[in-house]
């Protein structure tokens, strides 16, 4: 069983969903992001999704775009992501990296996998790489023992859900709505149906993301998915209240992901 599969087996055994928290590496600085990510772990994030800031993030809405911009303007370099992963892992965090494909291509797919694995990273989430184009990454992730999360969407056909799940390892990412990242008031109605469709094709854990920001939403997602993925809301919390902000948000969302026992919000 892979590291991430192991993690989900654990949260499933506890009868709850895992909380997956996103933050870009290098936001607002390299040290600052390590501090924020560590606070997210303290607050209750089971898994971290560390973003690689990229110049053309077409799957991201304004909040994450702005954070990535801040990181790039502060001088973020791609190799910094390994530093961040290493330090967060040393502090007990379990980390995947979410990255658009071109930075990985440019670094060299195998070299990236090698350096990422030796920093203690568990796997990649690749929003603009579909398995059809991923031969190099499939080989590199096998060679370096990394997990790989591809995305499915409400518009995915049964065949594509099947083939995408088959190519994935660790967990499968279901985008709950058609759209880019950004906090929304309601969890889209398409999400439960998509998760159900996924379950017909795979035993992999299924994480649901795009739009979650409150404990109530986390509880709702936890009622049908194995992982609750939260991004923009963490960025906003970091902007407003730094480490304390993301720690508090993680605690609130973690309570939601536990099945909503404490959900009063």
Partner 1 sequence: MDVKASDGVAHPSEHDPDERGHFGRYGGRFVPEALIAALDELSVFYQKARADPDFLDELDRLQRDYTGRPSPLTDVPKLGEHAGGARILLKREDLNHTGSHKINNVLGQALLTKRMGKKRVIAETGAGQHGVATATACALLGLECVVYMGEVDTERQALNVARMRLLGATVIPVKTGSRTLKDAINEALRDWVTNVDETHYLLGTVAGPHPFPAMVRDFHRVIGMEARAQVLERVGRLPDAVAACVGGGSNAIGIFHAFIDDPGVRLVGFEPGGDGVETGRHGATLSEGSPGALHGAMSYLLQDEDGQTAESHSISAGLDYPGVGPEHALLKDLGRAEYTPVTDAEAMEAFALLCRTEGIIPAIESAHAIAGALRLGRELGPDAVILVNLSGRGDKDVDTAARWFGMIEGESAAEASGTAIAESDLSRGPTQDEPSPAGADTGAVQR
Question: What positions carry a catalytic annotation?
Answer: 49, 60
187: three-class secondary structure by DSSP: coil
Residue 59 CB, shortest distance to partner 1, in Å, is 5
What would the 3-class secondary structure string for 61-77 be? CHHHHHHHHHHHHCCCC
Residues 23-62, mask of contacts with partner 1 (x by CB under 8 A): -------------------------------xxxxxx-x-
Please report whether residue 74 would count as binding partner 1 according to CB under 8 A. Answer: no
Q: Which of 120, 154, 242, 259 binds partner 1 (CB under 8 A)?
A: 154
Residue 217 is a binding residue for partner 1 (CB under 8 A):
no
By CB under 8 A, is residue 132 in contact with partner 1? yes
Among 133, 142, 158, 193, binds partner 1 (CB under 8 A): 133
Q: Which of 155, 158, 223, 241 binds partner 1 (CB under 8 A)?
A: 155
Closest CA to 46 of 191, 263, 256: 256
Residues 163-202 that bind partner 1 (CB under 8 A): 164, 175, 178-180
Question: How many Cα atoms within 13 Å fall on the side-chain side of residue 250?
Answer: 28
Give yes or no for a contact between 102 and 78, defined as CB atoms under 8 angstroms apart.
no
Q: CA angle at residue 81 from 75 to 82, to 5 degrees?
A: 130
By beta-carbon proximity to partner 1, the closer residue of 170 and 260 is 170
Nearer to partner 1, 26 or 256 (CB): 26
Mark out the alpha helices in the chain (DSSP H runs).
Answer: 3-13, 30-43, 62-73, 80-90, 101-107, 109-118, 135-143, 158-167, 190-199, 215-222, 232-257
CA pair distance 255, 84, nearest whole angstrom? 27
- Binding footprint of partner 1 on the chain (CB under 8 A): 54-59, 61, 65, 72, 77-78, 101-107, 127-130, 132-133, 150-157, 160, 164, 175, 178-180
């Amino acid at each position: 069983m892979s590291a991430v599969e192991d993690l989900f087996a654990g949260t499933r055994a506890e009868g709850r969903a895992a909380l997956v928290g996103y933050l870009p590496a290098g936001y607002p600085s390299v040290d600052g992001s390590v501090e924020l990510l560590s606070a997210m772990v303290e607050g209750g994030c089971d898994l971290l999704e560390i973003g690689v800031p990229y110049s053309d993030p077409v799957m991201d809405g304004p909040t994450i775009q702005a954070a990535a911009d801040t990181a790039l303007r502060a001088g973020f370099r791609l190799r910094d992501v390994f530093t961040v992963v290493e330090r967060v892992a040393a502090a007990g965090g379990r980390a995947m990296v979410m990255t658009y494909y071109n930075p990985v291509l440019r670094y060299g797919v195998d070299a990236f996998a090698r350096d990422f694995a030796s920093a203690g990273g568990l796997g990649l989430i690749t929003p603009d790489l579909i398995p059809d184009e991923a031969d190099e990454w499939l080989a590199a992730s096998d060679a370096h023992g990394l997990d790989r999360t591809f995305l499915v969407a409400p518009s995915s056909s049964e065949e594509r859900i099947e083939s995408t799940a088959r190519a994935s390892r660790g967990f499968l990412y279901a985008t709950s709505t058609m759209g880019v990242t950004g906090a929304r008031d309601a969890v889209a109605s398409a999400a439960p149906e998509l998760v159900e469709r996924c379950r017909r094709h795979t035993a992999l854990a299924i994480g649901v993301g795009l739009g979650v920001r409150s404990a109530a939403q986390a509880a709702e997602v936890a009622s049908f998915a194995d992982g609750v993925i939260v991004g923009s809301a963490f960025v906003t919390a970091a902007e407003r209240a730094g480490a304390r902000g993301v720690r508090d948000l993680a605690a609130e969302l973690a309570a939601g992901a536990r099945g909503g026992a404490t959900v009063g919000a």
